[in-house]
Amino acid sequence: MKFDTPAGTNPIDRLKVVGKPTDRIDGPLKTSGTARYAYEWNDVAPNAAYGYIVGSAIAKGRIAAMDLTEARRAPGVLAIVTAADAGKLGKGKFNTAKLLGGPEIDHYHQAIAVVVAETFEQARAAAGLVRVDYTRSKGRFDLVEGLKTAPLTGGNSGEGSAAPPVDRVGNFERAFAAAPVQLDAQYTTPDQTHAMIEPHATIAAWEGDELTVWTANQMVDWSRTDLATTLGIPKDNIRLVASYVGGGFGGKLWIRADVLLASLGARAAKRPVKLALSRPFMANNTPHRPATVQRVRIGTDRKGRITAFAHESGSGDLPGGQPETAVAQSKLLYAGENRLTSMRLAVLDLPEGNAMRAPGEASGLMALEMAMDEMAEKLGIDPIEFRILNDTQVDPQKPGRQFSQRQLIECLRQGAARFGWNKRHLKPGQVREGHWLIGQGVAVAFRNNLVVPSGARVRLDATGTVTVETDMTDIGTGSYTIIAQTAAEMMGVGLDKVVVRLGDSRFPVSAGSGGQFGANSATAGVYAACVKLRGVVAERLGLDAAVADFADGQVSVGGRRIALGEAARSGEIVVEDKIEFGDLDKKVQQSTFGAHFVEAAVNSYTGQILVRRMLCVCAAGRILNPKSARSQMIGAMTMGVGGALMEELAVDKRFGFFVNHDLAGYEVPVHADIPHQEVIFLEEVDPTSSPMKAKGVGELGLCGIAAAVANAVYNATGVRVRNYPVTLDKFLDKLPMPTVA
């Protein structure tokens, strides 16, 4: 099905199932422990051995010698694979560094060997016996130093966030110099790691020349393709299964060392191999969100209208990598005739920087939305009114191009009323409750809408049961449920008559989970397949498909009603189709919007920060399942609190690795850190997006929330911290004197 004209009225609009807050159909499996994750396919891969990866102990250089003698003699060892004996390996397009290093080393903890043994403990012990002599080279580990000579570099996250090296509209420098009110400030964001619950894990099994991998992965077809390229075997010889994934956040968008080395180990040991990355290995071996240094300059007239706007960002990555596209949202978010955005990319020898939830916008809005607050204060304007004053209904760089939907002002207005914003003091540091300083902060949420082709296979049997098969993944987001809702709505049956099978490369290629495009695109693919199934059913029943009504398990035209299953009485009906998108997203700007509100308390003695209330109001097209959408939002908001107040990978600039590479040293929010969270979805449908008239919310909830937290801390204390995370060592000595009890 080609989607190249705006959607008209269709069966989804009935909203009998779609749009209802629905419990996740996979919930009972997960809570009972019967939903099988990557490391748990013991029955289909029996007698599996265990793999353990040896990671490089240097960040830059080469392996001079490797002695495997003791490791090979260790109890239980079945095989050891290194780059020297792995055979010729290719390199997939989604990885910046090689998944198996040697003799050249690209980064710390790059995999250099895998030890396979009868038990996990034996594999781990033998890995510790591998002796490696290195020749260390001088590495580049300091972003600030690297940016001094870094070139201007464009980039594209592949998820709707992109920007050229430099983009100009009008004459920024002249307009900024002439602006009566100016802001020129620098902000920094640190390296961050995904810290998902489920580690990167794989079971690999060979049967002749054919390989099956059960793995934790968000994008089945991308990864199957890259694994085939890396191993140098036909793609058709690989089956990849990712039925349930315990969190990804972008860190599992493509294959990592666990997939490749489990596959190589299984081939060498002639046994299935189970391999999971340890938590420290995940931080230094798998991708992370790169640190940024950002400069924001805003010039306005005395009434607060932006006349000059510039957002410049610098980040680093391994050779061949891309910049963090932190300026992308700044091209679209606020009005202003004279504009400048640019990005620089420093070459660093740190572990690979790559996609992490809302790549680009998450980092960029941490700076931009703090700068907007700072500018509002300079002007003496309420920060919400300043944002509303500079709202735009068209692409500010291409005024002839309108937004398909843009309810940002309504998000801000509704949020302000719901949150009690009118009680906030414009002047910071004015509200106290005993030893606590109280403040409120706001920030705008923005994320582009992206759609990608997605396919599905739909089956109908004589009992009227509809089965959907697609390689779409569920990374804890509720894909099983919204796909079931879509099929139920289209075929006129209840959820109890729908079976959903996901995450298997034997199924049609879907959008996959990432970039906030998964839900909208994958359900649109199911919609397309169901349209075809409706046509076949109507034909089998001798009915006119154009006027047939599918409802309550029956198909009816006029006064004639026939049970849906009757169409499959002579045999199961199987159809397949996919959604392909035209150029509607080029004709109009499709984006999602929101407004975050935060109340924070700061202890005037200790500097302790407590987030007390959180609210997000968002407009993101049709919400397919408000229950799971809310879960996505509050999870993202929680992640944003981590980014604002605690998450930071500490770089050892001598040896080039992340020091705090486990959950003891890399802090993430826990239940005690998170207060009541409220989410409001505005009524909205976007017929230019898809037949579902939906968009996505999975990453929108993260965009801007960190700035809202930081702005609330400033409003509480009057101390501005521009270097994330906002930790007490950065402001404690500047706090106003505490009140005397």
- 468 and 569 co-located in one domain: yes
- 56 and 95 co-located in one domain: yes
CB contact set of 245 (below 8 Å; sequence gap of 6+): 37, 38, 198, 216, 217, 218, 252, 473, 474, 475, 476, 503, 513
Q: In what order do the strands lie in the sheet with 181-189?
A: 166-169, 338-347, 306-317, 292-300, 181-189
Percent of the chain with pLDDT over 90: 98
> What average pLDDT score do residues 234-256 get?
97
- 131 and 233 co-located in one domain: yes
Does a structural domain hold residue 498?
yes
Under the banding of pLDDT at 50, 70 and 90, the label for residue 739 is: low
* pLDDT at site 97: 95
Domain final residue, candidates 586, 614, 639: 586
- 103 and 23 co-located in one domain: no
* Res. 159: pLDDT tops 90: no
Residue 685's Cβ-count burial label (10 Å; 0-12, 13-18, 19+) is: middle
- 17 and 46 co-located in one domain: no
Is the distance from CB of 557 to CB of 480 less than 8 angstroms?
Answer: no
* pLDDT at site 740: 61
* Res. 93: pLDDT tops 60: yes
Under the banding of pLDDT at 50, 70 and 90, the label for residue 737 is: confident
Does a structural domain hold residue 493?
yes
- 83 and 59 co-located in one domain: yes
CATH of residue 78's domain is 3.30.365.10
- Triad 209, 213, 217: Cα angle to 5°: 145
Q: Cβ–Cβ contacts within 10 Å for residue 499, how many?
A: 16
SS3 for 370?
Answer: helix
CB contact set of 171 (below 8 Å; sequence gap of 6+): 338
List Cα–Cα distances, 202 to 58, 161, 262, 479, in angstroms: 26, 30, 7, 21
User: If residue 376 lies in a helix (H) or strand (E), which one and from where to where?
Assistant: helix 361-379
| Cα(573)–Cα(571) distance, integer angstroms | 6
> What average pLDDT score do residues 147-176 get?
94
- 466 and 579 co-located in one domain: yes
Under the banding of pLDDT at 50, 70 and 90, the label for residue 52 is: very high
Does a structural domain hold residue 568?
yes
Under the banding of pLDDT at 50, 70 and 90, the label for residue 735 is: very high
- 221 and 273 co-located in one domain: yes
Q: pLDDT for 707-719, tens place per residue?
A: 999 999 999 999 9
Does a structural domain hold residue 537?
yes
Does a structural domain hold residue 602?
no
Looking at the structure of the chain, the number of domains it has is 2
- 103 and 8 co-located in one domain: no
Is the distance from CB of 370 to CB of 710 less than 8 angstroms?
Answer: yes
Q: Which of 352, 469, 576, 699 is labelled catalytic?
A: 699
- Which structure tokens are listed for 600? 């924070």
Q: Please name the residue that has the structure tokens 């046509």.
A: 535
List Cα–Cα distances, 445 to 141, 176, 581, in angstroms: 32, 26, 26
Q: pLDDT for 638-691, tens place per residue?
A: 999 999 999 999 999 999 999 999 999 999 999 999 999 999 999 999 999 999
Q: pLDDT for 311-339, tens place per residue?
A: 999 999 999 999 999 999 999 999 999 99
* pLDDT at site 728: 95
Domain enclosing residue 276, as ranges: 38-138+198-285
- 276 and 265 co-located in one domain: yes
Is the distance from CB of 375 to CB of 383 less than 8 angstroms?
Answer: no
Does a structural domain hold residue 653?
no
User: If residue 498 lies in a helix (H) or strand (E), which one and from where to where?
Assistant: strand 498-502
Percent of the chain with pLDDT over 70: 100
- 231 and 264 co-located in one domain: yes
Does a structural domain hold residue 682?
no
- 101 and 14 co-located in one domain: no
324 is catalytic: no
β partners of residue 189 = 292
List Cα–Cα distances, 473 to 348, 354, 464, 480, 501, in angstroms: 33, 20, 25, 8, 9
* Res. 399: pLDDT tops 80: yes
Domain final residue, candidates 563, 586, 609: 586
- Which structure tokens are listed for 612? 């007390």
* pLDDT at site 22: 98
* Res. 741: pLDDT tops 70: no
| Cα(63)–Cα(132) distance, integer angstroms | 7
* pLDDT at site 161: 86
Q: pLDDT for 258-283, tens place per residue?
A: 999 999 999 999 999 999 999 999 99
Under the banding of pLDDT at 50, 70 and 90, the label for residue 158 is: confident
* Res. 363: pLDDT tops 60: yes
Domain final residue, candidates 270, 285, 300: 285
Does a structural domain hold residue 387?
no
| Cα(79)–Cα(248) distance, integer angstroms | 30
